[in-house]
């Protein structure tokens, strides 16, 4: 029978919480495979997916590769753990002239032959059937695994596909991702989701200074993210008035500093309102003026009770781009629409602001009223995983 073996990584480490992590993982696997027909069984530290139609196997594998908490998977043949049955199945293997090695693992110690001896037997069998192949114990081109489990089943497979790793989505709580439309913020969302954080997203737009297309692009990005993070509630806040006010009343070089402080305040209010436990941003140290240590001190300073997670903080742009490509958000991120951070962009933004300076600038605007106004005009779009 064709099956898919699933392995999970860090869950082993979680001691008393293991049940919670596992049940979350199973829930996520089921949610990812919604609409597919299959059977999911848990056997001694592995999950086995079976009873699916063979032509759906690739599709199911692709979907499972996006489930956080899974470490690796292998499409395999499941047979009864009997010596002859296993040999019959292994006899069918074609190595096409490649070097190979057989790995036998015996969790079921009642199996009559030792792992080493059985591997040798099977190796011989394969050699006899594949005259132009040879054994290479050090760098084999083909790895043939025979896994004999406690459920008296054996699993034969030749491919271990790496999955996302991380922790099951949701087991770390729920956070708010500041989603700008650029390359970094979707990557930040993905990385935090990988650590088990469910996400809602927050976007600021500045019509007419930014376009409907720019907003649509953010909706598209959120849509792409749902592949990994499931349904996303996207909060859209009109930021036009805030920017006009800052532009009018504060020093130009503080435009972005003050703007981001207000964004953070709005974000924390939304966290309060929707019971979200953290703020996630795509900031990377030193990438732009607003992402220096001093700037982040000043923008983070307005947050009273939530942690700010910045998973891209230590990454080079190239590294961020690489992840962005791998999660398929890059091509959308680089569409050329302005985001609200490019509006009223001063020629020389301050690189090392201080909290005192920022507070001083904020005297000239009614921060509380502006935050209030932002929240009043909140638009919510529920983006479902397709």
Partner 1 sequence: MIYLDNAATTKMFEGGADIYKKYACQSFFNPSAGYNKSFEIAKELDGVRELIKKNLGATKGNVIFTSGATESNNLAIMGSKRNGKWEYVFSLGEHPSVYNVASALENQGYTVHFVGLLENGQIDYEELERVVNNRTRLISVMHVSNETGAINDLVKIDKIRREYCPQALLHIDGVQAFCKLPFNIEDFNADLYTISAHKFHGPKGVGALYVKNPSGLKNIIYGGGQEGGYRSGTENVPGIMAMKYAIENIDIIKNFQYVKELKDYFIKSIDNTEGVKYLKTESPYILSLSFYGVNGETLMRSLQDRNIYVGVGSACSTKKAGNRVLESMGMNIDEIKSHIRVSFSEELSLDDIKNACHEILDTYHKLLEKVK
- State yes or no: residue 337 binds partner 1 (CB under 8 A): yes
229 touches 199 (CB < 8 A):
yes
Q: Which of 10, 344, 351, 365 binds partner 1 (CB under 8 A)?
A: 344
Residue among 233 and 247 whose Cβ is closer to partner 1: 247
Q: Which of 207, 316, 360, 363 binds partner 1 (CB under 8 A)?
A: 207
- State yes or no: residue 112 binds partner 1 (CB under 8 A): no
Residue among 98 and 247 whose Cβ is closer to partner 1: 247
Residue among 20 and 207 whose Cβ is closer to partner 1: 207
Q: Which residues contact 15 (CB under 8 A, 6 or more apart)?
A: none
- State yes or no: residue 15 binds partner 1 (CB under 8 A): no
Residue-wise burial string across 177-194, b where 16 or more C-beta atoms lie within 10 A, e elsewhere: bbbbbbbbbbbbbbbbbb
Q: How many CB atoms lie within 10 A of CB 149?
A: 21
DSSP conformation class of 10? G
- State yes or no: residue 332 binds partner 1 (CB under 8 A): no
Min separation Cβ 343 and partner 1, Å: 8
176 touches 280 (CB < 8 A):
yes
**CA dist 150 → 100, 105, 158 (Å):** 26, 11, 20
Residue among 22 and 245 whose Cβ is closer to partner 1: 245
Segment contacting partner 1 by CB under 8 A, of 10-18, 208-216, 325-333, 357-365: 208-216
- State yes or no: residue 31 binds partner 1 (CB under 8 A): no
Q: Which of 288, 345, 369, 380 binds partner 1 (CB under 8 A)?
A: 345
The beta strand positions in 158-230, using DSSP E, are: 161-162, 174-178, 198-205
Residue among 35 and 208 whose Cβ is closer to partner 1: 208
Min separation Cβ 299 and partner 1, Å: 21
- State yes or no: residue 248 binds partner 1 (CB under 8 A): yes
Find how far residue 93's CA is from the centre of its chain: 35
Residue among 211 and 297 whose Cβ is closer to partner 1: 211
Q: Which residues contact 126 (CB under 8 A, 6 or more apart)?
A: 90, 91, 93, 95, 100, 102, 133, 144
Total residues in contact with partner 1, by rule CB under 8 A:
13
Min separation Cβ 213 and partner 1, Å: 9
CA proximity to 68, closest of 193, 176, 172, 174:
193
- State yes or no: residue 247 binds partner 1 (CB under 8 A): yes
- State yes or no: residue 364 binds partner 1 (CB under 8 A): no
Partners of 144 in the beta sheet?
A: 102
**What Rg, from alpha-carbon coordinates, does the chain have?**
27
Residue among 71 and 344 whose Cβ is closer to partner 1: 344
Q: Is residue 177 helix, strand or coil? A: strand
Min separation Cβ 381 and partner 1, Å: 20
CA proximity to 221, closest of 330, 110, 357:
330
Side-chain half-sphere of 48: how many Cα atoms within 13 Å?
Answer: 21
198's enclosing H/E stretch is strand 198-205
Q: Is residue 364 helix, strand or coil? A: coil
First to last CA, the chain: 30
Min separation Cβ 196 and partner 1, Å: 36
Residue among 255 and 302 whose Cβ is closer to partner 1: 255
Min separation Cβ 214 and partner 1, Å: 9
Q: Which of 336, 356, 382, 384 binds partner 1 (CB under 8 A)?
A: 336
- Site residues for partner 1, 216-245, by CB under 8 A, read 244
- State yes or no: residue 12 binds partner 1 (CB under 8 A): no
337 touches 181 (CB < 8 A):
yes
**Phi, psi (deg, nearest 5) at residue 58:** -60, -40
Min separation Cβ 247 and partner 1, Å: 7
Crossing angle of helices 240-249 and 367-376, in 10° steps, is 160
Q: Which of 338, 359, 373, 378 binds partner 1 (CB under 8 A)?
A: 338
Min separation Cβ 325 and partner 1, Å: 20
Binding site for partner 1 (CB under 8 A): 207-209, 211, 244, 247-248, 336-338, 342, 344-345
């Amino acid at each position: 029978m064709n099956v898919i073996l699933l392995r999970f990584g860090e869950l082993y480490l979680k001691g008393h919480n293991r049940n919670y992590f596992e049940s979350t993982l199973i829930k996520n696997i089921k949610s990812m495979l919604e609409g597919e027909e299959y059977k999911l069984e848990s056997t001694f530290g592995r999950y086995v997916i079976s009873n699916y139609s063979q032509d759906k196997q690739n599709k199911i594998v692709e979907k499972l590769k996006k489930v956080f908490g899974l470490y690796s998977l292998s499409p395999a043949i499941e047979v009864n753990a009997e010596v002859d049955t296993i040999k019959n199945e292994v006899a069918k293997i074609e190595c096409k002239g490649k070097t190979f090695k057989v790995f036998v693992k015996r969790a079921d110690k009642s199996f009559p032959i030792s792992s080493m001896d059985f591997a040798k037997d099977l190796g011989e069998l394969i050699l006899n059937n594949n005259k132009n192949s040879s054994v290479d114990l050090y760098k084999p081109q083909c790895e043939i695994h025979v896994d004999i489990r406690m459920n008296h089943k054996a699993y034969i497979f030749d491919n271990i596909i790496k999955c996302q790793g991380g922790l099951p989505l949701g087991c770390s709580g729920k956070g708010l991702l500041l989603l700008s439309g650029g390359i970094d913020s979707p990557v930040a969302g993905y990385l935090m989701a990988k650590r088990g954080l469910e996400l809602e997203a927050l976007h600021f737009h500045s019509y007419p200074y930014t376009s409907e297309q720019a907003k649509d692009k953010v909706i598209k990005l959120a849509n792409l993210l749902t592949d990994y993070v499931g349904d996303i509630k996207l909060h859209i806040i009109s930021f036009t008035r805030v920017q006009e006010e800052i532009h009018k009343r504060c020093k130009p070089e503080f435009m972005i500093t003050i703007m981001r402080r207000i964004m953070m305040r709005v974000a924390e209010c939304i966290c309060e309102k929707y019971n979200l436990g953290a703020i996630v941003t795509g900031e990377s140290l030193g990438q732009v003026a607003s992402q220096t240590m001093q700037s982040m001190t000043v923008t983070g300073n307005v947050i009273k009770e939530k942690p700010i997670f910045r998973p891209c903080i230590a990454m080079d742009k190239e590294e961020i781009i690489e992840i962005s490509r791998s999660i398929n958000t890059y091509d959308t991120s680089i569409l050329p629409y302005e985001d609200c951070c490019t509006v009223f962009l001063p020629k020389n933004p301050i690189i090392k602001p201080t909290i005192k300076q920022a507070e001083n600038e904020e005297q000239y605007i009614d921060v509380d009223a502006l935050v209030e106004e932002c929240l009043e005009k909140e638009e919510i779009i529920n983006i479902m995983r397709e």
